[in-house]
Amino acid sequence: MLPAALINTSNGNIYRSHPRATYGGFVIGSEIGLEDAIEMVELTINYAKQLHATEIIVRNPFRIFHQYLTDETDYAMWYHGFSIKYREVETAVKLESYEIIWQGYNDSTRRNIKKSKNFLTVALSSDFKAYWSILEDNLIKKHSVKPTHTYEEFNTLLSNIGEEKVKLFIALKDGVITAGIVVFIVNPLALHAQYIASVEEFQDLRPLNAVIDEIIRWGYNNNYKYLNLGTSNEDSGKRINAGLFRFKEGFGGRGTLRETMHLII
């Protein structure tokens, strides 16, 4: 299965991984072998031709989201003439024992976590509506943009996928939210952090350091293997936010690659 959409452009129809999804790619079972994958991609190309598409774009997931080795479809796309349209790298933390993870933090990260936990408490919350107001205000002040989804859209998503699949971690100072991160449970192996925000007046307390540390601890205690801290790229991977990469790498994060594949029919 390939969740996709047909996009009409002035240059023709494009059959592509759904543009509103965080990532796409083929969804396959563990029983799929290489010959099956080659046939599956061929059928996809033929189907796109029936839709009068002139291009196919497949935005693969990060490999840390794979529940088992599954590079057959990557090979099959190359076999049928796909090329790499662009590459993006996000930063993920491997959730080993917390003692090992802590040793993987750099000195600055450890200091900031200790500092923040002297003044803040970190907790799970179900008050997404209150947090969304903080998120919107944060993005407008810092980047003059709004969140990808409104609260109403996010609430619909929450209802569709189930609240057990989404966690909100917040840092509190005397009961006031100072920062937060929404965490999606991708599968039994991986967590994905998104919708990250902090309140500027509390920035000197380093609330995000405390929140990320608590998510890492929670993820390890609940047997997850990876926490993806999200992207620090823009412009299809061509622009790098070096400061944001350094911040995430301070938690022992390492790069995880996503390749978007492209075929002109």
Domains located in the chain, CATH noted? 4-87+259-264 (no CATH), 96-224 (3.40.630.30)
Res. 236: pLDDT tops 80: no
pLDDT of residue 26: 87
Query: pLDDT at position 130, please?
Result: 93
HSE-up of residue 37 (Cα within 13 Å, Cβ side): 21
What residue spans of the chain are helical by DSSP H? 34-50, 72-79, 98-104, 107-119, 128-143, 151-161, 207-221, 242-249
43 vs 146 pLDDT, higher one: 43
Average model confidence (pLDDT) across the chain:
92
Ranges 5-19, 178-192, 221-235, most confident: 178-192
pLDDT for 240 = 84
Q: What pLDDT does residue 172 have?
A: 97
Q: What is the pLDDT of residue 138?
A: 86
Distance CA 261, CA 74 (A): 9
Cα torsion 201, 202, 207, 209 to 10°: value is 70
Q: Is the pLDDT of residue 9 over 80?
A: yes
Residue 65: the pLDDT is 87
Q: Which residues contact 30 (CB under 8 A, 6 or more apart)?
A: 67, 68, 70
pLDDT in tens, 45-77: 999 999 999 999 999 988 888 888 888 999 999
Each residue's pLDDT tens digit, 17-33: 987 776 678 888 888 89
Mean pLDDT of 99-105: 94
User: Average pLDDT of 114-138?
Assistant: 94
Predicted pLDDT at 98: 92
Sign of the CA dihedral running 61, 62, 64, 70? positive
What pTM, to 2 d.p., does this model score?
0.89
Averaged pLDDT, 145-164: 89
Give the pLDDT score at 70: 84
Say yes or no to pLDDT of 235 above 80.
Answer: no
Percent of the chain exceeding pLDDT 70 equals 98
pLDDT tens readout for residues 188-221? 999 999 999 999 899 999 999 999 999 999 999 9
